Amino acid sequence: MKRSLLTLAATTSLIGSSVALASGSLTGVYTTSGKGKTPAALNGDWAIQIKKSGDYQIAKRVGTSGQVLVTGHAKIAGGKITFQKETGPAACKGPQSVGRYAWTLRGKALTFERLADRCTGRRTILGGRFTKVS
C-alpha cells in the first residue's frame, strides 16, 4: 500500500517540489487512507501537497494513479492553518469555502484539529492521520 501511495503522489505531480522542508514547516507531501466515511466517495487513499508559498493540492488515488480534486491557498501562522481559495471538482465553495485548523507535525505524522469548517469533504479527509512521504 505504501508503494501505491507513493505512486499516487508521483502521478498527480505532487512530488518534485524543489522547496526545502524547514523545521516545523508543513511543506511537503502527506498521505492518508480512509474507510467507513460518509459519503462513501471519501473512502480511499488521499495525498496533500503543501508548498512553501501556501499553495496546496489534494488528490485521491483512482486505480493505480491519482486525480487532483482540489487546489487552493492556505494561510499558515504558527500552529494554525486556514484553507481557502479552492478550485477543482471537489472544492469547497460559498459558506463552506474557508476551513480553519490547528496542526501538529511529530516526525512524519501530521494531524489537523478542526477549529471551524463547514465543508464535509475537507473536514472528513483532514480528520485522518497523515504520513509525510516527501
Could you tell me the CATH number of the domain that includes residue 51?
Answer: 2.40.128
- Domain span at residue 98? 2-132
And the C-alpha cell for 51?
Answer: 508548498
Question: Is the CB of residue 7 less than 8 Å from the CB of residue 126?
Answer: no
- pTM for the structure as a whole: 0.80
Considering only 1-10, 28-37, 88-97, which range has the smallest mean pLDDT? 1-10
DSSP symbol at 14: -
How confident is residue 7, by pLDDT bands cut at 50, 70 and 90? very low
Q: Which helix (H) or strand (E) holds 117?
A: strand 109-117
Q: What's the mean per-residue pLDDT of the chain? A: 84
∠29-23-26 over CA atoms, to 5°?
30
Q: Domain count of the chain?
A: 1
Question: Which has more pLDDT, 62 or 97?
Answer: 97
